[in-house]
Structure 1
């Protein structure tokens, strides 16, 4: 098989010549063989939407060459049309706060854009995954933003299915209104009630779940896009910061807005916990309904046998004629899975830490990317870690920037403060 040699901070790898992914995707695919399930297609779409909106905004700001921007946009459109999906090779569970997923998208888009411009895949001097596709972005704002768009794309269908279930319960409420049954407390006989009342209660709890889901969607519309690594908008042009959420809204077809406090929005992922919590509540409610149905249908001779559930399949490999309530049972099993996911999401949000804190020893090199490029910045950072020589000294030693220029780039106020004043000027 023909291959091409690619390098990153970890080392060199032979990448299949025809692959649109690159070295960082391959490292991730090797490191994270966890679930053997790839990214959800809607999440891939959402990441690519962010990349498209970023290219549009960076082109309008004058920071991204028009030809490169248009190639990136075309590549994004092709992926959104369903192409190149087999090139997204990283596992759904991955370390690094989503860096692998972000870089997989960056590399696929870059290599397709290179082809569009007449180049050969892997020639990142034409279109670079970091310097061009990832311009004005960080994994720490791309992935949470894409995650929220994914939720906003998927929840409406969930709500639609719940509304169908609610309607079915309301229909049964009317159908069974004249059927008397015993009500129970602690599984013991209590007082009579109508079967329709039981189904009416099912409908009402579903109505509350639907309302909660609709309400929580609003939290998902507030994004940290433009925040980059930790919320300070480092390496972001004022025009981009002021306009990226608007462009992304157009690309995604959803009304989105940028968070007022980008640092808060970057380091706190409570919105995802809220969505997950509401989904868990809904799962618990539906599982409770399933258990009630199983109990009322128990028998047919020695149980309650108050209702008959449709037979779906044989219930035993040894007992002739046995029928089990398999649909309510599997609904409860799905509920248990959702409850488990909720706990995972809760703990992930509780333990959330920005990459910048993890990699703070070389974090200063981030500010250099717009001036000397991602690859050279990574090389400097790696050399600094190995030799103990400061990033600043290495940049000056190699003559990459002048001392006065470097001093200006590395000013603390430039690296630690969101550019709100500049944004206001850009807007006006």
Structure 2
């Protein structure tokens, strides 16, 4: 059977570096209308070519591949638009500061022209005073007030990075110091070994060391570089840490859920680690997957997750979370475009509940009708929080990062024997 797949082969062979270069070039447009016109025109032409080529396909697998490529392209266009909007906001903020600085300089010089201009416009300014009244802006510092006066609170300390962007999936792994056994290196080795070369080029693993002890942070970074030296130079793994002033004063936390201060501090800090990690990962890929530092995976897990996500998007299924592990916050896939909702929600209630509970609360808020019964609520939640079987990840740690806590839970849907080489 003849397959006219020349166009598909051409698209599939476009180097990743070329795509990244084109994305960077597009973002240089200062005219928003020109930017949107260029993106829309390029998308339409690509869709027309793919559609025309698709009529010549007779093989179902090739059709699905083309459909997934098209869905992925549409998502990348949406991400580019979002990044452009963010950049546009930053430019406007810079212009605002420049304007204030210029006004300060001219006021100090007491320029006659400026004074005359202000005299003429003062009456008009008073007539529209209500529109000049500044609204209170709600951001992360509203819920983390200690960040308002800090310069580096929300800036990551990048310990190693290949500056990789525009991947399909970003895997976020928070890790902290443990008094007993640590599982981080075995987790990273397992994840890398269970990816083929194509998956490695289309992924980014971000390890966030949630500690402010400089010596410990350097020690963990050095160990990652030594044990995974064969992949560190490829850009597959980024290692970051927060500055010391990111965390609030945990001794002033409210005691909630009847827990001790130690436990409240532990889960509150864990929530803020999630937030920091998500903020770093959001602009680097299409999908974000939350993992932990003590898991193992199944072979080719990346392709399974990516194909599942693209399939649901292509079928116009409105999902918020794709769940590839039943335990806690492990294996939860979220579109990077949806991360701001998750980040904001966790920040608002970081002191109140564990992160996986907050995720469930968010889904319930979005999905459930209070006038319906619990069975209807579960059904609606299941439509936007989709669980896959079998699971792709298994929790292997037994010693929690909370001193004295033993974690023996296992995902019964994970059916794979643990190989000794993964240890």
**What's the TM-score once normalised by structure 2's chain length?**
0.26
Q: Which has the higher strand share?
A: 2
Q: Which has the higher helix share?
A: 1
The answer to which structure, 1 or 2, has the higher relative contact order (CA under 8 A, 6+ apart) is 2
Answer with 1 or 2: which has the greater Rg: 1
**What's the TM-score once normalised by structure 1's chain length?**
0.26
